[in-house]
């Protein structure tokens, strides 16, 4: 099939339904990882979703994009710090799981998992974050706490809660540990958007459905502020010493995976985060990974992104050299569950955008929206054809559903190409592009995988 030929209606394998927020719903049941050509998009005017009264869909999306910009800056600084160290090497139980849901119904643009904290377990939504290394939860008494869906956790009512002393090895693992007048360890975590959490550092039991994981070091935050609306805390899934995989990795052989559901679909069923051998999907395609030590907290793709195709044709100007990881540790690609929009180095983004615009020349353009400079007016349309987009990694070609790169940004029929350029050498694959895939982290095997049937 040529890159510019429309796919006949009789062989279409997905229809994408227009929804009132940042994403579209898509059927991945028969999705091929490397199918070229074009997708046909079917648009349907939807009812307005019942969202938090605090945010309209458009303003929530804009706020999420603003936070995205801060997050990208923070991720870049973290990897830059690791590059200065100029040292690279690859890291080399019984499974359990928890649900993954969109936080949109709670007024958040994040993805949540639901965990029990303490003994007896008190269940709460936790932000799922592969870019963070500390597990924490809001605790009473709250000096300053943001609104959450569930009651704030009270450590006094948990028989398994235990404070950490200032001189302990756990306390020394913190980047900036503190100490109170009782010689108990204090923690503080700040994020690039100005959000922060501060309180006691402690150990506690986490319950994943019916599985209890004891003695997990976490922050018990009494002073918290930021865009964590709805969730009670955060499950850090990075590669730092205090992340959940680092603390409990021996329990599940350092293998976990998640699938991010369509955050905007009101009827979306919860997906799951899996820990253990069951996390490794049989249909996943894998590429090697590499992390920078000791400062790097993210997984970098070892052989980089080798290229991108649009409409079945490799984009000129996008090759492995554009995403190369140099000897000093600059460049490379990370996969991040907390960043929404994929950022590509500016030369790669410009080439990708121009190729997509050429392939979508029949579509009416719309004004730019926030960081998006390529938008289309699809109002009044029922079916439109758009070029396919395929990522080419070492050992893995990943074909994105159209819903993962052409997204509605308002209720008036404006759709935007969901990529952005960055002046940094680091590229980030965000969660919009990950939706509908099971993303597999096999840290024991030093590889990362993608499966298009992961949310089943």
Domain extents in the chain: 9-44+55-71+285-449, 96-251
Q: How far apart are CA 102 and CA 269, in angstroms?
A: 10
| Residue the block writes with tokens 């070229």 | 36
Residue 246, Cα to own-chain centre: how many angstroms? 19
pTM here is 0.77
Please give the radius of gyration of the chain, using alpha carbons only, rounded to the nearest integer. 22
122 cis-preceded (ω within 30 degrees of 0): no
Same CATH fold assignment for domains 9-44+55-71+285-449 and 96-251: yes
* Residues classed as catalytic: 129, 336
Alpha-helix residue ranges (DSSP H) falling in 168-227: 169-172
User: What is the third-level CATH fold of 9-44+55-71+285-449?
Assistant: Cathepsin D, subunit A; domain 1 (2.40.70)
* CA distances to 4, 264, 289, 305, 315 from 359, in Å: 7, 27, 32, 22, 12
- Per-residue pLDDT 10s for the chain (456 aa) are 444 333 222 222 222 232 222 233 333 233 334 444 655 444 333 323 222 333 345 665 666 666 666 556 655 555 554 444 443 333 335 688 898 888 776 666 788 999 999 999 999 999 999 888 999 999 999 999 999 999 999 999 999 999 999 999 999 999 989 999 999 999 999 886 778 999 999 999 999 999 999 999 999 999 999 877 889 999 999 888 899 999 998 888 889 999 998 876 655 677 899 999 999 988 999 998 876 554 455 566 555 789 999 999 999 999 999 988 777 778 888 888 888 899 999 999 999 999 999 999 999 999 999 999 999 999 988 888 999 999 999 889 999 999 999 999 988 999 999 999 998 888 999 999 999 999 999 988 889 999 987 676
Q: How far apart are CA 365 and CA 361, in angstroms?
A: 9
∠419-423-428 over CA atoms, to 5°? Answer: 45
Q: What is the CATH number of domain 96-251?
A: 2.40.70.10
Q: How far apart are CA 14 and CA 28, in angstroms?
A: 7
- For the purposes of burial, counting CB atoms within 10 Å of the CB of 59, is it exposed (0-12), middle (13-18) or buried (19 or more)? exposed
| Contact in structure between 419 and 349 (CB atoms under 8 Å) | yes
């Amino acid at each position: 099939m040529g890159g510019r030929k429309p796919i006949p209606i009789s062989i279409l394998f997905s229809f994408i339904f227009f929804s009132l927020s940042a994403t579209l719903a898509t059927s991945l049941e028969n999705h091929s990882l490397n199918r070229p050509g074009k997708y046909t998009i079917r648009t349907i005017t939807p009812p307005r979703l019942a969202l938090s009264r605090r945010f309209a869909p458009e303003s929530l999306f804009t706020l999420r994009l603003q936070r995205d910009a801060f997050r990208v800056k923070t991720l870049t600084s973290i990897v830059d710090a690791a590059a200065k160290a100029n040292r690279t090497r690859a890291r080399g139980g019984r499974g359990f799981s928890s649900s993954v849901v969109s936080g949109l119904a709670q007024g958040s643009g994040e993805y949540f998992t639901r965990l029990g904290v303490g003994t007896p377990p008190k269940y709460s939504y936790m932000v799922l974050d592969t870019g963070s290394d500390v597990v924490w939860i809001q605790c009473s008494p709250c000096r300053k706490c943001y609104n959450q869906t569930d009651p704030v956790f009270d450590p006094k009512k948990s028989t398994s809660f235990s404070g950490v002393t200032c001189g302990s090895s756990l306390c020394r693992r913190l980047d900036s540990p503190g100490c109170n007048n009782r010689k108990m360890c204090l923690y503080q975590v700040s994020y690039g958007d100005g959000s922060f959490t501060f309180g006691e550092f402690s150990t506690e039991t986490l319950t994943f459905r019916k599985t209890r994981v004891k003695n997990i070091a976490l922050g018990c935050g009494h002073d918290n502020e930021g865009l964590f609306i709805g969730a009670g805390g955060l499950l850090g899934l990075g590669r730092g010493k205090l992340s959940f995989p680092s603390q409990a990795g021996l329990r599940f052989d350092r293998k976990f995976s998640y699938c991010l559901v369509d955050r905007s679909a009101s009827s979306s069923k919860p997906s799951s985060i899996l820990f253990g051998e069951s996390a490794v999907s049989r249909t996943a395609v894998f590429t090697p990974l590499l992390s920078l030590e000791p400062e790097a907290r993210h997984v970098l793709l070892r052989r980089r992104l080798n290229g991108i195709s649009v409409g079945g044709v490799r984009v000129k100007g996008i090759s492995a050299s554009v995403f190369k990881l140099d000897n000093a540790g600059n460049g490379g690609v990370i996969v991040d569950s907390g960043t929404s929009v994929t950022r590509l180095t500016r030369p790669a983004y410009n080439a990708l955008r121009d190729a997509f615009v050429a392939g979508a020349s029949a579509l009416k353009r719309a004004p730019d929206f926030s960081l998006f400079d390529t938008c289309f007016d699809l109002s009044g349309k029922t079916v439109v054809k758009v070029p396919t987009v395929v990522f080419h990694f070492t050992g893995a070609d990943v074909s994105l559903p159209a819903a993962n790169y052409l997204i509605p940004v308002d209720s008036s029929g404006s759709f935007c190409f969901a990529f952005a350029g960055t002046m940094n050498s680091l590229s980030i694959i965000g969660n919009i592009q990950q939706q509908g895939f099971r993303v597999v982290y096999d840290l024991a095997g030093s590889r990362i995988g993608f499966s298009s049937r992961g949310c089943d």
